[in-house]
Structure 1
Amino acid sequence: MSERLKSTENVSNEDVIEDLTKDLKDSLNTRENLDEFVISPANSSSNDSPVHLGEPHKSDFTPYSDHIPLDDDKMEDVDVEKDGDGDKESDTDSIDEEELKDTELDLTDDQKEERKIIAEDLKVAGNNAFKDGEFERSIEKYTEGLKTCPLQYPQQRAILYCNRSAAKMKLEKYKQAIKDCSKAIELDDKYVKAYIRRAQSYEHTEKLDESLADYKKILELDPSHSEAHRATIRLPPLIEEKNEKLKAEMLGKLKDLGNMILKPFGLSTENFQLEQDPESKGYKINFKQ
């Protein structure tokens, strides 16, 4: 595995296989003379992880987030055009909690309480902007609230993160929404609405396994949650279908690489046949002319 993947958390199977096949391609492209290849018979094992090569599977999923009001706000939802301008987090959205912690060292209890009240007002302003369809402005207000609300009030900060995720989902910034939901859950691990929005955002980014895991967690916290019940029935066949597709694409990719290696020798992968042992479930390769 490359150093890039070793240093990255939550590496997917697709990333691993794509990285491996890229290395094989690079190795083939750097050889000036394929006739110098020498192939020695040897047993080798293949990685069974899927590689994502085609277009991602699209389900008929309709984002339930469009129908969820913000916390502490019973407003009606507003339909607006989604700009889909990407998921790169801006500097104005980032929260430096270490700097916030240092700032709070010099604050009295009364000053911290005052900042909490100001953050609450900023949340209300963000909710009102959301209601008016001004999602960018609502994000700004929630962010100001997060930069103001003292760290000793995790519940209030969790709501600000979760509400900000709702605005980002409206703008189809699902990766950013996932980060905000994860922060909210970090502050309150029983925050059902944060799990809901993260599950929805995971599904929008084709992370179906992660989405299913969140829906299962929701059912642990709220066994009567209807959307989570439907999702635990709807997602498993989609996950199986996606994995089968990825497996087929992976095998096709490996076959193409094998043909590149065998071509100088007048051979192809068609000259080799995989046969599974019914007892050991292992595979052996048979050569046919």
Structure 2
Amino acid sequence: MAEKSSSLDDDETSCKQYVIPSNEEIINELTKDLHSSSIEAAEDTNSVRDKHDERKLEKEDINVGKFEEDITKVSAGDSDKSENEEDHVEVEDDFIDEEALKDFEITYSAEDKERLRKEADTLKSKGNEQFKAGNYRDSAQSYTLALRTCPLAFDKDRAVMYSNRAATKVKLGLKPSAIEDCSKAIELNPVYLKAYFRRAQLYEEVEKLDEALADYKKVLELDPLHREALYTSRRLAEQIQERNEKLKTEMLGKLKDLGNMILRPFGLSTNNFQVTQDPNSGGYSVNFQQTPR
């Protein structure tokens, strides 16, 4: 083998002399980076596995415990606020993310839902006690936490929580928001008399008389012997009629002023036109009089 190598070198005298590497040298040359590449590949594989495990653990944490963690994420700065701010409920503390609740509930078993319903009921009872003690802000927060805990499947339970929270908002002077909570309670339980009655009172207080009367009438549908709804609905009907008559008089006065302005250049006024109502049809007819009475 050495002779052949020597002969080959002799024939190619113009080329640089070299020695054919041995098999061992060839193998070493081919595999010199294999060890470091294997280490890097292993590290990459471990990194991917670690990330997968982290995501798996994170997903499990969300499915099992995230909702309970969200419940505890309540504003911790309430105690630092002044007494003048005590009657104010922040909008962000009030929000109920039903889409998130729906996503969470996909992972819950029947036992999980029942457990959460009981936890929500405990929070509701806490809110009731705080309300009785006059701690309206804390009471509203307890009802909010109850709503964030109670599964969406329990419509009537959630309706009570919304209605109770509306009562605390009334005490806090948040009437528009209280109306929204009453409406949500009615949406969840369309025969919830107390929510209709509470919303009727709120509508009346914010001078939405037609809406208030409609709710009082709904209360009477559910309970024809509800004395306060019966009395108030009659009073409101008369009040609404008086308001409408007043508005009609004001509107006709403005129309008369406008008509006189238009007719004045022609030497006429609205007094030249007599408006008569037909007692049978309720319609009106207009007659022109050259000489007004």
1:155 corresponds to? 156
- For residues 218 and 199 of structure 1, the distance between their equivalents in structure 2, rounded to whole angstroms, comes to 9
The residue that corresponds to 1:232 in the other structure is 233
Normalized per residue, which structure has more helix? 2
Shift of 1:269: 6.1
CA positional deviation for 1:151:
0.4
Deviations along 1:65-97, one digit per CA (max 9) or x if unpaired, are xxxxxxxxxxxxxxxxx99x89x9823223222
- Counterpart residue number, 2:144: 143
Matches within 5 A, 1:106-255: 106-255=107-256
What's the TM-score, normalizing by structure 1?
A: 0.61
Return the alpha-carbon distance in structure 2 between the equivalents of residues 214 and 196 of structure 1.
Answer: 7
Q: Shift of residue 159 of structure 1?
A: 0.5
**Alpha-carbon distance in structure 1 between the residues aligned to 2:266 and 2:176:** 47
Of structures 1 and 2, the larger Rg is shown by 2
Contact 1:104 1:150 in 2 (8 A): yes
Greater shift, 167-176 or 277-286, is seen at 277-286
- Equivalent residue of 1:91, what SS? helix
User: Following the alignment from structure 1 to structure 2, what is the Cα–Cα distance between the partners of residues 200 and 181?
Assistant: 11
The alpha-carbon deviation at position 152 of structure 1 amounts to 0.6
**How many pairs are equivalent?**
205
Once the two structures are TM-superposed, the CA of residue 132 in structure 1 deviates from its matched residue by: 2.1
1:263/1:217 Cα in 2 relative to 1: closer, same or farther (>3 Å)? same
Taking a change above 3 Å as real, the CA distance of residues 286 and 151 of structure 1, as seen in their structure-2 partners, is same
Q: What is the Cα deviation at residue 213 of structure 1?
A: 2.0
Q: CA deviation at 1:216?
A: 2.0
Cα distance between partner residues in 1 of 2:258 and 2:177:
36
Instruction: Show the counterpart of 1:72.
Output: none
Determine the structure 1 residue equivalent to 2:286.
284
Unaligned runs of 5+ in 2: 1-83
Q: SS at the partner of 2:91?
A: coil
Q: How far apart in 1 are the matches of 2:247 and 2:277?
A: 24
Which residue is equivalent to 2:91? 90
Higher relative contact order (CA 8 A, sep 6+): 1
For the Cα contact (< 8 Å) 2:259–2:270, is it kept in 1? no
Shift of 1:273: 3.5
Among all aligned residue pairs of Structure 1 and Structure 2, give the percentage whose two residues are the same amino acid. 48
Give the drift of 1:262.
3.6
In the TM superposition, residue 136 of structure 1 has moved relative to its aligned partner by: 2.1
Q: CA separation in 1, counterparts of 2:169 and 2:269? A: 48
CA distance in 1, matches of 2:258, 2:136: 47
1:70-89 to structure 2, matched below 5 A, reads none
For residue 275 of structure 1, give the secondary structure of its aligned residue in structure 2.
Answer: strand
